[in-house]
Chain A
């Protein structure tokens, strides 16, 4: 009985470590190989407070969680802007620094660690045996899991997944990804600290070797093996990994000293095979325990590309969807932007003297243009003219060297993409940058501003408001998907849609931000004429909705159908303007455009 309880306690502790890492690795896409160090911070904090300060189990546990969360928050600051490989390096450095500090500081017990941590004592009840610990650890683990579940299976978790899929696209939707990453690091570290403190009280000691890089690798193995991005996968991974040793010992009659090693060989090999053959792990991302009800309601599940095509044939793919949408739209949303439609002269965006150099190359060399309210403006020119760079400068993806960008009279040059998106100017991307492993509906729901469920505190303090906002966000997302004619594909994974459909989802996503200035980067290029006509009609309808649209587009025939006015850009400068027909009747511009 005590033996089984001992195993169960180990499973619970490692389960917390695994699902807390999953929050970072599986949801936010942040690869860390120093997770055990955060458990160590919690473990050492609890051990020190319990032995030196005589703190009881509960306050020591709370202090451990807070200490680990604060350390995680501090570590997350330099981690925010690092590439994946540098993030791995940073977390490795943190891990080595922690272990060296712990093993070299006499106050922390040096290489032997802190010993003789007292047994937990809670409300007069002392916990001595594994079975007693189990009664203490089970509710703690359930509580930790519920907190984690609340984070990941929520609008907050949806934003984390979006960051994992495409950080820049998430910023372009007005999300401050740095704050989200910091919060994810803090929560994951706090939960790891809880596991570390539980381990300290359970083994009655803490030592540097319990929290080194090898332990971090073991936790990563649990997450990968169980399944990343799924709330329950890492719990299964932890259980399998912990229980493998006794199974090998008892059932396969392997000597105790070898069983642990055999387990690691099997899991190492399994890790290589899993990543090759089943990268989603044992439990894939969208697997739910509610398999049967879902099976009975198959229409609700994300579907495959084949199903997508079937629905495409039968679903609402009529171009008239966007036009019929107009009836219910006028006066409902775009006026919600701060500052109204535009200045007195009808200009919403005024760009003056915009410049950007990359080393010796002047990509944008003093660009001036305006976007009038409710008009579709084209930005045309040969490849390499600097058109996409202008979009990146306007939306804060890269800061300009000189010049101003006035959005309804306010200079937004140099502001961050999320700040500019919130001020009412958003962009799409040439390469679509759809969140492939999210459904079309989730992609569009992410464009909601001010959702209380997307904030750290809102999730726990405003459950009713979160539910209401989620309902509203869903309705609004469905409305915009309907606008682009894709409501029948709302529950399909965006990555499984046709390229043109992904472009439509990207447009729906922009519209759901309720921004009134839309910068569309090649929305029609690279798709067949039928889809081009459909997207053209959607853009045409945007004008009728009162949106101010700027399009970079190489499909000149389609552009001519939608653009009221065009600027011609070459070598980083705007050199002509007028209707597209006028521009293309100039032999010099035609020559510059086609390179003839």
Chain B
């Protein structure tokens, strides 16, 4: 096996760049999963929608980049609210449970993805979002772009902002209260329904931001939401705690595992490496840490 250790600095930086985005995506998914309790697979739909609205606004309607981005994010927030309000909440009230929400979510993705394909069937489905002043930055053996730098800064800004919001802002504390005990939160006058809408807005906007970055870096494509969904899933579930810091570290870990596998393997093997880590985690999960600790203690005498 040919080990390419000379690529280590570049692969490490790539890992941090991607991992920062994964951390933010994980935060977006975890906010909805852990607070509203929705297994929101239609998160991929929100992601795709944000990118397409921004691209269409910029390309077809000639809007400058910033208004196009704002429009994309507004569309994501609105789609998030409508999904919770019109689809999930009534389903939950009827006892649809996790499976019902998962299925409805699946239906929404199928509709959105194929509507996009139908709408642009006569044009190219590959739609990049132009307008960002992308330049190369080279530091010794490492190269990245201004877009990468912006993406990392945005991810960390969002992670820190959400951490501060959850800790200090009244609405942030509402989110924590509903996450820990929705019944008790209701008793003290916090509406879980409103908090659910709030996390859908937050989660959708964060997802939208990185969808737009993806459209700027590569392009908007109808099935662009799947891969980030899988990564967001993974970060949200692998993170030992629901805190932006824990999610950030988990995201960086996933990004580094994916990227550093490039030392030994070609890029097409990286999903195998990442998902093998997930598989290993899920295999170990049933053993449970306290039991594992007990086994280790017993073994150590």
Q: How far is the CB of B270 from chain A (nearest CB, A)?
A: 8
Among listed A147-155, A216-224, A297-305, A312-320, interface-contacting one: A216-224
Interface positions, chain B 248-287, Cβ under 8 Å from A, are 266, 268-269, 271-272, 275-276, 278-279, 282-283, 285-286
Interface positions, chain A 84-134, Cβ under 8 Å from B, are 84-86, 88-90, 92-94, 96-97, 100-101, 103-104
Interface positions, chain A 249-298, Cβ under 8 Å from B, are 257-258, 261-262, 264-265, 267-272, 275-276, 279
Assess whether B107 is in contact with A270, with CB atoms less than 8 Å apart.
yes
Assess whether B111 is in contact with A269, with CB atoms less than 8 Å apart.
yes
Given known A-B contacts A104-B272, A270-B107, A276-B91, A90 and B114 have beta carbons under 8 A apart:
no
Given known A-B contacts A88-B39, A89-B282, A90-B282, A96 and B111 have beta carbons under 8 A apart:
no
Assess whether A217 is in contact with B110, with CB atoms less than 8 Å apart.
yes
Instruction: Select which of B87, B113, B268 is within 8 A of A272 by beta carbon.
Output: B87
Q: How far is the CB of A268 from chain B (nearest CB, A)?
A: 3
Assess whether A97 is in contact with B98, with CB atoms less than 8 Å apart.
no
Given known A-B contacts A81-B286, A93-B278, A275-B96, A262 and B118 have beta carbons under 8 A apart:
yes
A348 within 8 A of B: no
B160 within 8 A of A: no
Assess whether B100 is in contact with A275, with CB atoms less than 8 Å apart.
yes
Interface string of B116-153 (1 = CB under 8 A from A): 01100100000000000000000000000000000000
> Which residue of the partner chain B has the closest CB to A86?
B282
Assess whether B114 is in contact with A264, with CB atoms less than 8 Å apart.
yes
Q: How far is the CB of A225 from chain B (nearest CB, A)?
A: 10
> Which residue of the partner chain A has the closest CB to B33?
A85
Q: How far is the CB of B176 from chain A (nearest CB, A)?
A: 21
A580 within 8 A of B: no
A587 within 8 A of B: no
Assess whether A100 is in contact with B275, with CB atoms less than 8 Å apart.
yes
Assess whether A104 is in contact with B282, with CB atoms less than 8 Å apart.
no
Q: Cβ of B106: which chain A residues have Cβ within 8 Å of it?
A: 217, 220-221, 268, 271
Q: Cβ of A220: which chain B residues have Cβ within 8 Å of it?
A: 103, 106
Q: Cβ of A93: which chain B residues have Cβ within 8 Å of it?
A: 275-276, 278-279, 282
Assess whether B102 is in contact with A88, with CB atoms less than 8 Å apart.
yes
> Which residue of the partner chain A has the closest CB to B117?
A261
Q: Cβ of B230: which chain A residues have Cβ within 8 Å of it?
A: 92, 96
A331 within 8 A of B: no
Q: Cβ of B112: which chain A residues have Cβ within 8 Å of it?
A: 268
Assess whether A258 is in contact with B96, with CB atoms less than 8 Å apart.
no
Q: How far is the CB of B128 from chain A (nearest CB, A)?
A: 22
Instruction: Select which of A92, A94, A103 is within 8 A of B268 by beta carbon.
Output: A103
Given known A-B contacts A78-B286, A258-B121, A265-B111, A224 and B103 have beta carbons under 8 A apart:
yes
CA–CA, A257 and B118, complex, Å: 9
B-side interface mostly: helix
B108 within 8 A of A: yes
Assess whether B107 is in contact with A271, with CB atoms less than 8 Å apart.
yes
Instruction: Select which of B90, B113, B268, B271 is within 8 A of A96 by beta carbon.
Output: B271
Interface size on A, residues (CB 8 A): 41
Q: Cβ of A267: which chain B residues have Cβ within 8 Å of it?
A: 107, 110
> Which residue of the partner chain B has the closest CB to A255?
B121
CA–CA, A80 and B114, complex, Å: 35
B233 within 8 A of A: yes
CA–CA, A180 and B118, complex, Å: 44
Instruction: Select which of A82, A88, A268 is within 8 A of B286 by beta carbon.
Output: A82
Given known A-B contacts A84-B98, A89-B233, A92-B233, A271 and B110 have beta carbons under 8 A apart:
yes
Q: Cβ of B109: which chain A residues have Cβ within 8 Å of it?
A: 217, 268
Instruction: Select which of B94, B121, B272 is within 8 A of A101 by beta carbon.
Output: B272
- Interface-central residue, A89, A220, A262, by most chain B CB under 10 Å: A89
CA–CA, A89 and B279, complex, Å: 9
A162 within 8 A of B: no
Given known A-B contacts A92-B230, A276-B104, A31 and B99 have beta carbons under 8 A apart:
yes
**Top-9 shortest CB links A-B:** A268-B110, A271-B107, A268-B111, A81-B286, A272-B107, A264-B114, A78-B283, A100-B272, A93-B275
- Chain A residues engaging chain B, CB cutoff 8 angstroms: 31, 78, 80-82, 84-86, 88-90, 92-94, 96-97, 100-101, 103-104, 213-214, 217, 220-221, 224, 257-258, 261-262, 264-265, 267-272, 275-276, 279
Known contacts A104-B266, A265-B115, A268-B111, then 5 further A-B pairs from the complex at CB < 8 Å, ordered by chain A residue:
A96-B275, A97-B271, A97-B276, A100-B271, A272-B108
